[in-house]
A and B are shown apart, each in its own frame.
Chain A
Amino acid sequence: MTATLELADVTKTYSMDSSLARMFGRRSRHLVAVDGVSFAVGPDESLGIVGESGSGKSVTAELIVRLQTPSNGQISYGGRDINELSGDELLAYRRAVQIVFQNPFDALNPAKLVWRSVSEPLSIHRMCASSEFRERARRVLDEVGLAPAGMFLDRYPHELSGGEVQRVAIARALILDPQLIVADEPTSMLDVSVRAGVLNLLKELRRRRQLSMIFISHDFSTIRYICDRTAVMQAGEIVEIGPTREVIDHRRHPYTQALMAALPIPGDGLQRERVLLTGRRHDPTSAWPGCRYAGRCPHRREVCDHVRPVLVKVADNHYAACHVMAPATTNGAQEHAHDPHPDSADHQSKEAS
């Protein structure tokens, strides 16, 4: 079963009311975590979702694996709404789509031997006789680079290093032969030299198993390494989406530009111009009608306060949602020509030399 995952106008809001407030008929308050997100991930494709903490990227991941249900909109896989699946169809979906979490130590039961954790999905989905569990676990551990697998089967998570435990978690996600892996910051907790190994493993698995992948990160450098396409999320919305290199090298949305500008690049030293975001972040409980990035945007205009921008095409397969649409920036050259607040430029761009 190879299919396309499609999100259509998916929204997730949480009610902020206490039951007491509702009793007294106070105006209800909602927190908008994900708002109108649409994208599709086809077979053998990898999509990166990038944004700062609180941008809604992890909620999106949980909606996709049905750990949460959307308040609005539809998530479909192979044309079927995943939230209407039940019984065998739901089990089939769960087999096809697996998730890898950020902290592998939280994701594995500390009291279970590695081979039991890895083979547990087989027993849940009644995939094979229990006598085969150990052998299947051994095979998949080999595949994720924990070799010889015999050394890891009978260990507990605490006996392994962070990189090894994350590989165990990846092995568990793979044992049901999924089509799509949702990886939620799988390398951000890992040590530098180990992180590279896990990134290469994910790349290799994608190639070998023709996996689709949704890779969530706040870091453009890992996204560039793993993903064909990238969606940039800000305050619950996708503000820019397109082929990864296009989005990074010809970024159009001011938020994408700020995210890239915030990344230290070795060797650039203090020559790198800082674009410091000042102003307030969007409050996810407010009903602000305008652009949710306006509060921090150096290019803000009046229209930004009243009308929410929608995604428009800026190049082939490349979309961005901005009224002003900052000129395309390429690496190393930040444009400031459209800065509407020249007198505050000192605060916004500092060259701390």
Chain B
Amino acid sequence: MHTRDAAKESANGSDLLDIDSLSVRFQREGSSLQAVSEVSLSLSSGDVLGIVGESGSGKSTLARAILRLLPRNAHVSGEIRLEGRELLSCSDREFRRLRWAQISMVVQDAMNALDPVWRVRDQLLEAIRVHGTVGRRDGKDRAASLIEMVGLDEHVLSRYPHELSGGMRQRVCIAMAFACNPRLVLADEPTTALDVITQDRIVAEILELQVKRDQTMIFISHDIALISEVSHKIGVMYAGHLVEMGTVGQILYEPSHPYTMGLLNAFPRADIDHEVVSIPGDPARFEAITESCPFIERCPFSQPVCREHKPRPQEVTPGHWAACHFLDVAPTLRERAKDPLTWRPANVKATIREPQPSSSAKERSAA
């Protein structure tokens, strides 16, 4: 188990970021959409938390809620504390001072994140001057050293974004995110639009910066292989819920939520031959989530109790928790999840329509 978590086990000091029961609901005409549901997590200084989930699972909304970048029709509740300071109750004016200086973000679409009519230098300088405490002359030196830090040549500074390749633009965005030495960097699918070779270089650069500065980060992606490489801890999101959280090793080798088990089956691998199994059905629609488990429609192990009660997060082992009613039989479920037949759509639907209490009893006795 060669993962980053091993090195991080001991570092469990005071929390840098504390999110408590964060919910985001988008109000639309006549309807509303629950994009994030009661997400709680905490991050120590120097931690990298990877958040993995499908599109629409609420992972980007979570990041935007932390940076308070959500549109006006978003209703945010809960608490977000950065070094003890509550972020949601700050005034806009106060928060503007924190944004970028304390929390910054690297987004997926670097072309849209940069202003097309500004040269790279001016964009960097703007970030440094507005949010940092740097004078005009120092700012220029700073811009040069930042651009060098992400492996770009200084001449890039006088270029416009359209003159750069996708990978170079993403590097400029990374330089901007790290420009003011923020306490927390959010990276939202920073490499998804790039091909493997560029992705690998950029990830290597982000990691180098992270290690050098002991930077606290939240790294968001749908790619569990990438996430497992950059993170110390992984949070798995499904339909707005954080359904499982643990160290990289715990998530990869002891997944305890059926969704995580399914997700791990769904990836083809380049190094070995194994059968790829998809999770039947489509990601849950937000309107539909009520008091039942958000994963119920796609879960091959669902039981009547899953319809009646939404499972609360429970500890599996120290540092590892999941929100499922059947954590006690997780090892059995893990075995069954490895069988492609388990995930056949017919099996999943059959369990939902005709709950079989007998198989539940069997599982419980097996545990």
Give chain A's interface residues, CB within 8 Å of chain B.
Answer: 52-53, 161-164, 191-197, 199-200, 218-225, 245, 248, 258-272, 274, 276-277, 331-332, 350, 352-353
Cβ contact of A269, chosen from B4, B195, B280, cutoff 8 A: B4
**B200 at interface, CB cutoff 8 A:** yes
In the complex, chain B residues whose CB is within 8 Å of the CB of A53: 195
B270 within 8 A of A: yes
Minimum distance in angstroms from B188 CB to a CB of chain A = 16
Q: Is the CB of B223 within 8 A of A264?
A: yes
Cα distance A263–B203 in the bound complex, in angstroms: 11
Residues of B within 8 A of A164 (CB): 282
Contact B204 A265 (CB under 8 A): no
- Judge whether B270 and A265 touch: CB under 8 Å: yes
Residues 207-251 of B contacting A (Cβ, < 8 Å): 207-208, 211, 222-226, 228-229, 248
CB–CB B211/A196 < 8 A:
no
Q: Are A267 and B2 touching (Cβ within 8 A)?
A: yes
State the Cβ distance, A84 to closest chain B Cβ, in Å. Answer: 35
Within the assembled complex, what's the spacing in Å between the Cα atoms of A196 and B262? 11
A194–B345 alpha-carbon span in the complex (Å): 13
Would you call B342 an interface residue if the criterion is a C-beta within 8 Å of the partner chain's C-beta atoms?
A: no
Count chain A CB atoms within 10 A of each CB in B55, B211, B273, B276 and give the residue with the most: B276
Which residues of A lie under 8 Å from residue B277 when comparing CB positions? 196, 200
Question: Is the CB–CB distance between B204 and A200 below 8 Å?
Answer: no
Inter-subunit contact A353/B268 (CB<8 Å): no
Judge whether B267 and A221 touch: CB under 8 Å: yes
Distance between A129 CB and nearest chain B CB, rounded to angstroms: 34
Q: Are B196 and A259 in touch, CB under 8 angstroms?
A: yes
Within 8 A of A (CB), among B170-226: 195-201, 203-204, 207-208, 211, 222-226
B 241-278 binary contact with A (CB < 8 Å = 1; else 0): 00000001000110000000011111111111100111
The verdict on B366 contacting chain A, using a C-beta distance below 8 Å, is no
Contacts of A269 in B (CB 8 A): 2-4, 228-229, 248
Q: Which residues of B contact A350 (CB under 8 A)?
A: 204, 208
- Our pick among B197, B199, B224, B283 for the contact of A266 (Cβ within 8 Å) is B224
Most chain-B Cβ atoms within 10 A of its Cβ — which of A53, A223, A245, A248?
A: A53
Judge if B361 is at the interface, Cβ distance under 8 Å: no
Q: How far is the CA of A191 from the CA of B263 in the complex (A)?
A: 11
Give chain B residues whose Cβ lies under 8 Å from the Cβ of A263.
196, 200, 225, 270
Contact B228 A266 (CB under 8 A): yes
Q: Give the chain A neighbours of B3 by CB distance below 8 A.
A: 267, 269-270
**Residues of chain B contacted by A277 (CB below 8 angstroms):** 197, 201
With A271-B2, A276-B204, A353-B7 as given contacts, are A224 and B269 in contact (CB-CB < 8 Å)? yes
Q: Are B229 and A268 in contact (CB under 8 A)?
A: yes
Asked if B268 contacts A199 (CB within 8 A), the reply is yes
Name the B residues within 8 Å of A268 (CB-CB): 2, 229
A264-B204 in contact (CB<8A): no
A interface secondary structure, majority: helix
How far, in whole Å, are A162 and B282 apart by their CA atoms in the complex? 10
A sample of 8 more A-B contacts (CB under 8 A), given A219-B196, A270-B229, is A161-B283, A196-B278, A263-B200, A264-B226, A267-B252, A270-B3, A270-B4, A352-B207
Residues in A with CB closer than 8 Å to B265 are 196
B363 to chain A, nearest CB (A): 24
A104 to B273, CA, bound (A): 28
Binary interface encoding of chain B residues 3-38 relative to chain A, with 1 for a CB under 8 A from any of its CBs, else 0: 110010000000000000000000000000000000
B1 at the interface (CB under 8 A from A): yes
Contact residues in A for B208 (Cβ distance below 8 Å): 350, 352
| B54 at the binding interface (Cβ < 8 Å) | yes
Complex Cα distance A218/B199, Å? Answer: 12
Residues of A within 8 A of B55 (CB): 162, 191
A267 to B3, CA, bound (A): 7
Given contacts A218-B196, A266-B224, contact A193 B263 (CB under 8 A): yes
In the bound complex, how far is the Cα of B3 from the Cα of A323, in angstroms? 37
Q: By the criterion CB–CB under 8 Å, are A196 and B276 in contact?
A: yes
Chosen A-B contacts, 17 in total, with CB atoms closer than 8 Å, are: A191-B55, A192-B222, A192-B263, A194-B54, A196-B279, A199-B268, A200-B276, A200-B277, A218-B195, A264-B228, A265-B270, A266-B269, A276-B204, A331-B272, A332-B271, A353-B4, A353-B211
Quote the shortest CB–CB distance from B206 to chain A (angstroms). Answer: 9
A262 to B200, CA, bound (A): 5
| Distance from B185 Cβ to chain A, minimum over Cβ atoms (Å) | 16
Given A192-B263, A271-B2, A274-B204, A266 and B270 contact (CB-CB distance below 8 Å): no
Q: How far is the CA of A324 from the CA of B74 in the complex (A)?
A: 59
Are B204 and A260 neighbours in the complex by a CB distance under 8 Å?
Answer: no
In Å, the complex CA distance between A164 and B195 comes to 25
* Complex partner residue of B262 from A193, A260, A270, A276, CB under 8 angstroms: A193
A263 and B225 CA atoms in complex are apart in Å by: 9
B269 touches A264 (CB 8 A): no
Most chain B beta-carbon neighbours within 10 Å: one of A222, A223, A265, A269: A269
When the two chains form their complex, are residues A264 and B229 in contact, meaning their CB atoms are under 8 A apart? yes
B56 nearest in chain A by CB position:
A191
* A279, chain B: closest CB distance, angstroms: 12
Q: Are B270 and A221 in contact (CB under 8 A)?
A: yes
Do A260 and B270 touch across chains, with their CB atoms under 8 A apart? yes
Cα A347 to Cα B46 in complex, Å, equals: 24
What's the least CB distance linking A302 to chain B, in Å?
A: 25
Contact B54 A224 (CB under 8 A): no
Q: Tell which of A195, A196, A265, A353 touches B225, judged by Cβ atoms closer than 8 Å.
A: A265
> Nearest chain B CB to A342's CB is how many angstroms away?
20
Residues of B within 8 A of A248 (CB): 270-271
- B contact residues around A161 at 8 Å (CB): 282-283
Is there an interface contact between A193 and B266, defined as CB atoms closer than 8 Å?
Answer: yes
Chain B positions within 8 Å of A270 at CB level: 2-4, 207, 229
A288 to B36, CA, bound (A): 54
Cβ contact within 8 Å between B197 and A193: no
What is the 8 Å Cβ interface bit string for chain B, positions 68-89, against chain A (1 contact, 0 not)? 0000000000000000000000
CA distance A271 to B225 in the complex (A): 14
Bound Cα distance A350, B198 (Å): 15
Residue of B nearest to A270 (CB): B4
CA distance A195 to B277 in the complex (A): 10
CB A170 to nearest CB in B, in angstroms, measures 15
- Chain B nearest Cβ from A141, distance in angstroms: 16
